[in-house]
Amino acid sequence: MRSDPNVLARTRATLMKGRIIFLGDLNLHLRGETAVLLRNGFLDCWVELKGDDVGYTWDPQVNGMINMVLPFDNRRMRLDRIAVSNGSDLKAESISIFANQKLEGSWYLYPSDHFGLEATFSIRPLPFTKPIYQHDLDRMENDTTTGFRTIRTISLMRLGLVTLISLGLFLLLI
């Protein structure tokens, strides 16, 4: 099967024509990964409306349930996104986080390990002019920080915990 060298260009052109909302757990861990959406014809609704507000949807400092499953994981990230095709007549009016409170009667249980996102859109009257996303994509793409522990550090800490527990059990048994 031969690949079409114009497939990316045709895909971008198609996206620019329609009302497309792309959303879900995209697992974009680093701040710089947002540029992937922008370079492929989507506007990140959170960034459009909230700017540099972090908007974490994965936050072990708030959601203690995460540390029950992934001890020592302190990475706070905006893994979930709602994006709309750039150039469409859809306009994000609001975006917010929900399901970020413990379930009633629980000391640690949340509805999910991720918080939810909800957005409201309006349809702009035609014709309209929407400028292309004006963020500094090069700066954004080069931002590989999370400001938190790396997977390697978290894994080493977990290994250390397992080793300590094993050693403790061994000492109890001798």
Whether residue 2 lies inside any domain: the answer is no
**pLDDT mean values, one per 10 residues, the chain (174 residues):** 68 69 87 82 91 91 90 89 86 95 91 95 70 60 60 68 71 74
Confirm whether 94 is domain-assigned. yes
pLDDT of residue 137: 65
**What is the 8-class DSSP label of residue 33?**
G
Show the tokens assigned to 78: 């905006």
Contact criterion met (CB below 8 Å) for 86 and 68: no
Look at residue 1 and tell me if it is in a domain. Answer: no
Interatomic CA distance for residues 16 and 40, integer angstroms: 10
What does the pLDDT look like over 117-132, one tens digit per residue? 999 999 877 655 554 4
Please count the structural domains in the chain.
1
Place of tokens 């095709």: 85
In a domain, 114, yes or no: yes
The answer to whether 118 and 57 are in contact (CB under 8 A) is no
Q: In terms of residue numbers, what domain contains 156?
A: 7-173
Q: Is residue 79 part of a domain?
A: yes
